[in-house]
């Protein structure tokens, strides 16, 4: 059967709506509830090899890089292995040190992004071990890797990636769980995360069901020439992804910043013409985040706050969007979904081509 957008006005809309089903697919058969761990046969690593990993380096481009940053945080938190993400497009140009006890992870929807493929080849040339988190089965990156996790998001057509990114996040959660459970993550914590992962599809659906409300908020943002997206720690890669999506399809300038860094410079730009979309999850940084909102409000910056029900924003004037809470470690993906809808509805309101934004290709197969 051919793949078309059906009753949707665009593939992006269809693909956002497919996220709960796609999330189900990436989880299917991969949760070991008895031992509170993941079952990832495709990694081709036994427990001893897994335990020998001293560092994790994640490589991807664009949104895949930002989800890679979310993945690095998951691995550090759950497996306590130092982890970071880097833009694959930069990696090979800095003559990277390839270490035998580092696990390299390439992340790509298409599996054909040339910068990511060349990073994989550079690592393998130097004897490093690379696994792939890839959506397209049999793609170039999938074939070059030593093992991996297929994302099972199904075909993705819109240039702006949505369901593949969600499944990348879940793929990283599974990887972090498996790495954690051969190290110091307890069986109880493993089970807690499995329960959290199992709740994700319905929670994503609950956000999608609030599309009308998000469309209204998006229309208030669409008129701005320039916006900030801010978050910190777990929320910062979410802000980067939110800004990226907004830029891609609305053509508005959107800049992601760590909320904590605003006072070190960009606060000078805040005015009633520059809205800020702030990620304020209920976590150990909530109070500090709310403090920063006051700083923005004092400069009359319009605010959209993506947060949790139990967060008290005090008297800050803001458009507020509450997302369902999960386990803290898994919250980033639920904070990301409303940002997709904001970008989509801003672009729709502005009359842009949603699926084929100007100057962009679905996968970048040139240097």
Rounded least distance, CB 251 to ligand AGP, Å: 14
Dihedral over alpha carbons 163, 169, 172, 178 (to 10 degrees): -90
Question: How far, CA to CA in Å, does 270 sit from each of 141, 220, 290, 303?
Answer: 42, 16, 16, 11
Strands 55-60 and 102-108: parallel
The token duo for 327 is 């386990």
| SS3 at position 306 | strand
String of contacts with ligand AGP for each residue 3-42, x by CB under 6 A: ----------------------------------------
Nearest Cα to 102, choosing from 147, 68, 54? 54
- Binding ligand AGP by CB under 6 A: which of 5, 157, 319, 364? 364
In whole angstroms, give the CA distance from residue 81 to residue 223. Answer: 43
- Binding ligand AGP by CB under 6 A: which of 10, 37, 116, 276? 116
- Binding ligand AGP by CB under 6 A: which of 15, 144, 248, 331? 248
Q: Give the CA radius of gyration of the chain.
A: 20
Candidate ranges 6-14, 56-64, 272-280, 296-304; the one touching ligand AGP (CB under 6 A): 56-64
Strands 31-32 and 37-38: antiparallel
Q: Which is nearer to ligand AGP, 298 or 361 (CB)?
A: 361
- Binding ligand AGP by CB under 6 A: which of 110, 178, 276, 326? 110
Q: Which is nearer to ligand AGP, 37 or 166 (CB)?
A: 166
Residue 214's H or E segment, with its range, is helix 211-222
Interface with ligand AGP, residue 64, by CB under 6 A? yes
Candidate ranges 157-165, 180-188, 227-235, 295-303; the one touching ligand AGP (CB under 6 A): 157-165
- Binding ligand AGP by CB under 6 A: which of 17, 19, 69, 108? 108
Rounded least distance, CB 85 to ligand AGP, Å: 13
Residue 193's H or E segment, with its range, is helix 187-208
Interface with ligand AGP, residue 161, by CB under 6 A? yes
Dihedral over alpha carbons 170, 110, 136, 21 (to 10 degrees): 40
Candidate ranges 27-35, 59-67, 228-236, 297-305; the one touching ligand AGP (CB under 6 A): 59-67
Interface with ligand AGP, residue 166, by CB under 6 A? no
- Binding ligand AGP by CB under 6 A: which of 72, 133, 159, 239? 159
């Amino acid at each position: 059967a051919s793949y078309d957008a059906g009753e949707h006005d665009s593939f992006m809309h269809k693909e956002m709506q497919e996220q709960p089903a796609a999330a189900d697919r990436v989880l299917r058969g991969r949760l070991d509830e008895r031992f509170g761990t993941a079952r990832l046969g495709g990694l081709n690593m036994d427990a001893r090899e897994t335990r020998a990993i001293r560092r994790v380096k994640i490589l991807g481009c664009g949104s895949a890089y930002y989800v890679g940053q979310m993945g690095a945080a998951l691995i550090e938190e759950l497996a306590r292995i130092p982890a970071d993400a880097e833009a694959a497009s930069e990696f090979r140009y800095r003559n990277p040190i390839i270490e035998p006890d580092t696990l390299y992870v390439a992340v790509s929807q298409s599996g054909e992004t040339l910068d990511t493929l060349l990073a994989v080849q550079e690592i393998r040339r130097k004897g490093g071990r690379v696994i792939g988190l890839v959506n397209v089965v049999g793609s170039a990156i999938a074939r070059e890797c030593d093992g991996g996790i297929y994302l099972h998001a199904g075909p993705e057509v819109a240039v702006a990636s949505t369901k593949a990114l969600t499944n990348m996040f879940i793929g990283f959660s599974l990887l972090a769980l498996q790495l954690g459970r051969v190290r110091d993550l307890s069986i109880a914590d493993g089970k807690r995360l499995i329960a959290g992962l199992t709740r994700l599809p319905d929670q994503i659906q609950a956000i999608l069901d609030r599309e009308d409300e998000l469309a209204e908020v998006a229309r208030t943002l669409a008129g701005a020439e320039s916006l900030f997206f801010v978050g910190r720690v777990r929320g910062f890669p979410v802000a980067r992804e939110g800004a990226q999506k907004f830029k891609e399809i609305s053509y508005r300038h959107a800049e992601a910043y760590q909320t904590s860094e605003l006072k070190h410079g960009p606060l000078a730009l805040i005015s009633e013409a520059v809205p800020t979309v702030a990620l304020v999850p209920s976590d150990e940084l909530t109070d500090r985040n709310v403090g920063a909102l006051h700083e923005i409000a004092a400069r009359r910056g319009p605010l959209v706050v993506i947060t949790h029900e139990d967060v008290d924003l005090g008297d800050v004037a803001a458009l507020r969007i509450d997302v369902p809470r999960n386990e803290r470690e898994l919250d980033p993906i639920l904070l990301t979904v409303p940002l997709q809808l904001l970008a989509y509805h801003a672009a729709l309101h502005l009359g842009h081509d949603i699926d084929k934004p100007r100057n962009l290709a679905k996968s970048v197969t040139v240097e």
